[in-house]
């Protein structure tokens, strides 16, 4: 069994409690306009080219099996239509201008990497988080990986958008200590506008996890002019749940612009950023209406 992984982030401190290693799985059923991991949206491997890092060494031209890479008059040309996303050019690139997002790995290959920092997990109250993209699009792999992590006594978290089947949730529930659960909007029409999908399944799955008594950390991206009118409605929704450990309001940023360019993807990032005052107001509304711990 293999999964497509686009990044492994060690010493992560924003993906659950303590020091963690976060595994980012490729593929997502949503297309959020503010997505800061566009390399995680598509399920297939993608080659990114960062032109500002290219030093014109020509090593990519030498190893590319399809001549998708070329340099003429000191200018680098990348023919994406001919690219196999084999990754050979990334291994030879001297300027780190080329990066392959989407490496196939087995549990046996991934597990030793995650165990390297076990002492840090134990000393900080951390562990391993599976994220994406949407990791539960590869639920069987996630379940096996989480199961083996639990055999080593490692705390596990699943970061999910919730737009998955109940069967996918059921596969990982026995081996997951906490779910980091995204809520982007309460109104269905707003959710569709922001993500391209309805939120009905997401809200059903949230209630399902809560009814099972699973620990849930709610994460709300706060994006002005997109979902800023949803905070009170989300607070009302959450006030009826019983197993929320905390709520985090994630202030939107647009740092991912270079990723969109490197992948030749349309940059949908909104231009308007939230102020600290706006984010704090959203946090206070959630705190007052739910009585849960709320942070940013």
16: left (phi over 0), alpha (psi -120 to 50) or beta: left
In sequence order, what E strands does 102-243 have?
A: 103-106, 127-132, 155-160, 178-182, 215-222
Please give the pLDDT value at position 264: 96
Q: Which class would CATH give 2-43+104-295?
A: alpha beta
Sequence ranges of the domains in the chain: 2-43+104-295, 46-101
H helices of 182-251, in order, are 188-195, 200-211, 231-238
SS3 198: coil
**What size, in residues, is the chain?**
296
DSSP 210: H
**DSSP character string of 10-22:** EEESSSSSSSEEE
Backbone angles phi, psi at 15, to 5 degrees: -120, 45
Determine the Cα–Cα distance for residues 23 and 3; give it in Å rounded to an integer: 11
Tokens of 272: 């308007």
Q: What is the pLDDT along the chain (296 residues), one digit of tens a residue?
A: 999 999 999 999 999 999 999 999 999 999 999 999 999 999 999 999 999 999 999 999 999 999 999 999 889 999 999 999 999 999 999 999 999 999 999 999 999 999 999 999 999 999 999 999 999 999 999 999 999 999 999 999 999 999 999 999 999 999 999 999 999 999 999 999 999 999 999 999 999 999 999 999 999 999 999 999 999 999 999 999 999 999 999 999 999 999 999 999 999 999 999 999 999 999 999 999 998 999 88
* 132, 126 Cβ separation under 8 angstroms: no
Give the whole-angstrom CA distance, residue 214 versus residue 247.
Answer: 15
Q: Name 3's bridge partners.
A: 105
Nearest C-alpha neighbor of 194 from the set 165, 227, 148: 227
Q: Which CATH number fits domain 46-101: 3.30.70.20, 2.30.29.30, 3.90.550.10, 3.40.50.2300?
A: 3.30.70.20
CA dist., res. 207 & res. 189, Å (int):
20
CA atoms within 13 A on the CB side of 158: 31
For the stretch 55-72, pLDDT in tens is 999 999 999 999 999 999
pLDDT, tens digit, 9 for 90 and up, residues 86-132: 999 999 999 999 999 999 999 999 999 999 999 999 999 999 999 99
């Amino acid at each position: 069994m293999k999964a497509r992984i686009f990044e492994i982030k060690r010493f992560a401190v924003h993906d659950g409690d303590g020091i963690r290693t976060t595994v980012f799985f490729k593929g997502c059923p949503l297309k959020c306009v503010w997505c800061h991991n566009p390399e995680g949206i598509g399920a297939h491997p993608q080659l990114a080219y960062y032109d500002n890092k290219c030093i014109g060494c020509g090593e990519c031209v030498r190893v590319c099996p399809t001549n998708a890479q070329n340099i003429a008059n000191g200018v680098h040309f990348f023919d994406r239509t001919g690219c196999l996303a084999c990754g050979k050019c990334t291994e030879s690139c001297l300027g780190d201008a080329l990066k392959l997002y989407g490496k196939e790995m087995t549990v046996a290959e991934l597990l030793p990497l995650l165990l390297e920092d076990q002492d840090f997990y134990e000393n900080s109250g951390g562990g391993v988080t599976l994220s994406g993209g949407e990791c539960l699009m590869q639920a069987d792999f996630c379940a096996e990986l989480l199961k083996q992590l639990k055999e080593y006594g490692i705390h596990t978290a699943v970061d999910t958008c919730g737009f998955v089947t109940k069967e996918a949730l059921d596969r990982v529930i026995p081996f997951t200590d906490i779910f980091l659960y995204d809520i982007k909007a309460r109104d269905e029409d707003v959710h569709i506008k922001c993500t391209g999908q309805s939120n009905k399944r997401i809200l059903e799955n949230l209630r399902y996890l809560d009814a099972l008594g699973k620990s849930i950390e709610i994460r709300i991206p706060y994006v002005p002019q997109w979902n800023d009118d949803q905070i009170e409605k989300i607070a009302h929704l959450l006030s009826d749940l019983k197993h929320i450990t905390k709520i985090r309001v994630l202030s939107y940023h647009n740092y991912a612009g270079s990723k969109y360019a490197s992948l030749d993807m349309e940059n949908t990032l909104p231009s308007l950023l939230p102020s600290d005052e706006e984010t704090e107001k959203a946090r206070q509304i959630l705190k007052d209406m739910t009585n849960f711990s709320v942070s940013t």
